[in-house]
């Protein structure tokens, strides 16, 4: 009898899982075809958990539209939540597992290039004439600290000290200031360990998030760079304590931070012959591994309960309002460009003239936006190749933090419209949707769009009423969009607009 009841429970659970799968993946994933031709479709990028933000915007837009059937508003939400608790993520803006499990007490990690035995004899430091001109005696690599570490020693793998000295320096990449340095000479080479010379430095605490550059000054004619195209190499990272950036840094003056970086994604073993030893700041709990596992499990279970509540809440919201589009991506910041492209793909069978993109932290003055389109006389005219927004020109590329760009290699971005609000004509949206699978994804959806559009024929119309940042003075309700609002600010903005 107990076996029969258990089987019944399992069958019921299976039905619930299958129904949940159908409900999540089979519903609300497209805009249904209608005979309506929308003048404007507004897509609002929104996070799964931002229920209150959507509620405020929804209340306002329902009143401001006044049953305008030519305007459609949809919230764009990732179909899948990141299953990793925030503490388990390598980066809060991505859904990637932090590989560092636990520290080993008094254990020193050595960052250096490691090869299979069959390639050990292929290490060489040959310098081509072109590289000689580019590098000019300063070369190094970058890394990011994922967990607090102590820096203990600096090292170099060069055997030939024919120039008399080699100086290894650790720089703070953001501040471009020296943190520690060592001088290696022919008569003071330091300790030899696993193919590298090492010297002690004053113990330095490098905090989580620290971006560092290890560089060599004054290397001999033979370039201290390993140039191997074999996959049988490994650049050690202390079991995930640090992350190494592929490529090399170079400069033109000794004792100065080398500003230039060459990303070599095609050569994973292209690596400056520098090294350093470091240790975790945490103490090992070798005798309490079970406690660590139980703590992680409890944290994971708590997160899964949170996600289950979030999903139930989201399902109820979808059923009640039918204004949410679930797109097939994981809900994290780095996936915003993908969310936008998937939204455009869902519009391919829909009849519309223009699409506006905005975010769920934005005040949206929809009546004035529609009035602008009417005054421009573009509604119903078949106007194409049109892009309206507040454009940033010669905007510098950030290499650190939330907006760090690792894919686009230039000093600045092409012109792009601020993400708080911009409008695209039908044919531009269709081009993006059709070519979505061939487009490279960059750090933000606004900068990504600027890069993609740089090669397309289009007309840009600069409209500063789409604000790029939140006002620090009195609120201007003539703005089309105002970003970066918390819930009290959003209520205040809409109340001043006499809508809510």
Give 221's pLDDT tier (boundaries 50, 70, 90). Answer: very low
pLDDT at position 118? 37
Q: What is the mean pLDDT of residues 450-460?
A: 93
Contact, 40 vs 380, CB < 8 A? no
What global pTM score does this model have? 0.71
pLDDT at position 274? 77
At residue 217, does pLDDT exceed 50?
yes
pLDDT at position 235? 64
Element (H, E) at 432: helix 426-434
DSSP-derived secondary structure for 158-188: ----TTSEEEEEEEETTTTEEEEEEEEETTB
pLDDT at position 340? 96
Q: What is the mean pLDDT of residues 368-392?
A: 91
Q: What is the mean pLDDT of residues 101-120?
A: 49
Count other Cβ atoms within 10 Å, centred on residue 49.
Answer: 16
Phi first, then psi: give them for residue 43, nearest 5 degrees.
-105, 120
Cα separation, 431 vs 120, whole angstroms = 50
Contact, 366 vs 61, CB < 8 A? yes
Query: How many residues belong to the chain?
Result: 500
Cα separation, 320 vs 206, whole angstroms = 50
pLDDT at position 352? 94
Buried-exposed string 457-469: b where 16+ CB fall within 10 A, e elsewhere: ebebeebebbbbe
Give 324's pLDDT tier (boundaries 50, 70, 90). Answer: very high
Cα separation, 411 vs 276, whole angstroms = 30
Domain at 109-280: CATH code: 2.60.120
Cα separation, 89 vs 100, whole angstroms = 10
At residue 286, does pLDDT exceed 60?
no
Considering the segment(s) 41-85+301-496 as one domain, its CATH architecture is: Alpha-Beta Complex (3.90)
At residue 282, does pLDDT exceed 80?
no
Contacts from 126-134 at CB under 8 Å and sequence distance 24+? 126/222, 126/223, 126/227, 127/221, 127/222, 127/223, 127/225, 131/223, 132/223, 134/250, 134/260, 134/262
How far CA 192 is from CA of 93, 102, 123, 154, 188, in Å, comes to 40, 28, 17, 12, 11
Q: Is the dihedral of CA 96, 101, 106, 110 positive or negative?
A: negative
Which of the residue ranges 162-166, 251-255, 336-340 would you say has the lowest mean pLDDT?
162-166
pLDDT at position 92? 85
Q: What is the mean pLDDT of residues 35-49?
A: 92
Strands (E), 175-247: 177-185, 191-193, 196-206, 211-217, 225-226, 233-235, 242-244
Cα separation, 466 vs 361, whole angstroms = 13
Cα separation, 449 vs 320, whole angstroms = 33
Q: At what angle do helices 289-321 and 51-65 cross, to 10 degrees?
A: 10
pLDDT at position 497? 63
- Spell out the domain ranges in the chain: 41-85+301-496, 109-280
Cα separation, 254 vs 238, whole angstroms = 29
Q: What is the mean pLDDT of residues 420-449?
A: 95
- Parallel, antiparallel or unpaired: strands 233-235 and 165-172: unpaired
Give the residue from 48, 21, 46 showing the smallest Cα distance to 309: 48
At residue 440, does pLDDT exceed 80?
yes
Cα separation, 363 vs 420, whole angstroms = 9
CA atoms within 13 A on the CB side of 442: 23
pLDDT at position 218? 64
Percent of the chain at pLDDT above 70?
Answer: 73
Tokens found for residue 359: 């975010």
Angle at the Cα of 438 from the Cα atoms of 436 and 443, rounded to 5 degrees: 75
Element (H, E) at 345: helix 336-346
Residue of higher predicted confidence among 195 and 197 = 197
Which residues are 331's β-sheet partners? Answer: none
Tokens found for residue 210: 């620290």
Expressed in angstroms, the distance from the first to the final Cα of the chain is 59
Cα separation, 199 vs 216, whole angstroms = 14
Cα separation, 445 vs 343, whole angstroms = 12
Give 453's pLDDT tier (boundaries 50, 70, 90). Answer: very high
Tokens found for residue 471: 């006002």
Fold agreement (41-85+301-496, 109-280): no
pLDDT at position 138? 62
Residue of higher predicted confidence among 66 and 260 = 260
Cα separation, 478 vs 368, whole angstroms = 8
Buried-exposed string 340-349: b where 16+ CB fall within 10 A, e elsewhere: bbbbbbbbee
Q: What is the mean pLDDT of residues 184-205?
A: 84
Cα separation, 148 vs 279, whole angstroms = 9
- Helix (H) and strand (E) counts for the chain? 9, 25
């Amino acid at each position: 009898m107990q076996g029969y009841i258990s089987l019944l429970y399992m069958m019921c659970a299976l039905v619930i899982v299958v129904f949940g799968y159908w409900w999540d993946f089979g519903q609300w994933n497209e805009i249904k075809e209608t005979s309506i031709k929308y003048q404007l479709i507004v897509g609002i990028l929104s996070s799964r958990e931002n229920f209150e933000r959507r509620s405020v915007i929804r209340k306002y837009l329902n009143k401001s539209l006044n049953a305008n059937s030519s305007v459609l508003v949809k919230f764009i939400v990732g179909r899948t939540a990141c299953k990793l608790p925030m503490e388990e993520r390598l980066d809060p803006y991505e859904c990637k597992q932090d590989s560092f499990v636990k520290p080993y007490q008094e254990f020193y990690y050595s960052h250096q290039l490691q090869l299979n035995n069959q390639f050990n004899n292929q290490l060489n430091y040959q310098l081509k004439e072109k590289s000689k001109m580019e590098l000019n005696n300063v070369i190094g690599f970058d890394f990011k600290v994922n967990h607090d570490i102590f820096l203990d020693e600096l090292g170099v793998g060069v055997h030939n000290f024919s120039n008399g000295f080699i100086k290894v320096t650790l720089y703070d990449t953001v501040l471009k200031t020296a943190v520690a340095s060592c001088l290696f000479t022919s008569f003071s080479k330091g300790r030899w360990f696993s193919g590298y010379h090492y010297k002690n430095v004053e113990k330095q605490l490098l905090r989580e998030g620290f971006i560092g550059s290890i560089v060599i000054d004054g290397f001999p004619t033979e370039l201290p760079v390993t140039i191997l195209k074999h996959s049988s190499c490994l650049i050690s990272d202390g079991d995930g304590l640090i992350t190494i950036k592929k490529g090399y840094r170079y400069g033109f003056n000794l004792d100065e931070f080398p500003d230039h970086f060459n990303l070599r994604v095609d050569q994973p073993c292209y690596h400056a012959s520098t090294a350093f030893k470091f240790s975790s700041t945490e103490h090992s709990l070798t005798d309490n591994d079970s406690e660590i596992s139980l703590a992680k499990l409890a944290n994971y279970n708590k997160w899964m309960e949170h996600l289950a509540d979030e999903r139930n809440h989201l399902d109820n919201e979808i059923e009640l309002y039918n204004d949410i589009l679930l797109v097939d991506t994981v809900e994290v910041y780095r996936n915003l460009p993908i969310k936008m492209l998937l939204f455009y793909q869902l519009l391919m069978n829909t009849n519309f003239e223009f699409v506006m993109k905005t975010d769920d932290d934005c005040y949206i003055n929809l009546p004035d936006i529609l009035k602008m389109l009417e005054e421009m006389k573009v509604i119903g005219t078949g106007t194409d190749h049109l892009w309206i927004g507040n454009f940033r020109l010669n905007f510098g590329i950030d290499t650190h933090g939330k907006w760090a760009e690792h894919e686009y290699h230039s000093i600045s971005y092409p012109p792009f419209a601020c993400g708080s609000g911009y409008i695209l004509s039908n044919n531009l949206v269709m081009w993006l949707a059709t070519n979505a699978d061939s487009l490279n994804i960059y750090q933000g959806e606004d900068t990504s769009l600027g890069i993609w559009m740089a090669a397309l024929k289009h007309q840009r119309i600069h409209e500063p009423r789409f604000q790029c940042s939140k006002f620090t003075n009195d609120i201007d309700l003539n703005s089309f969009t105002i970003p970066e609002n918390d819930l009290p600010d959003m209520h205040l903005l809409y109340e001043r607009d006499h809508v809510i």
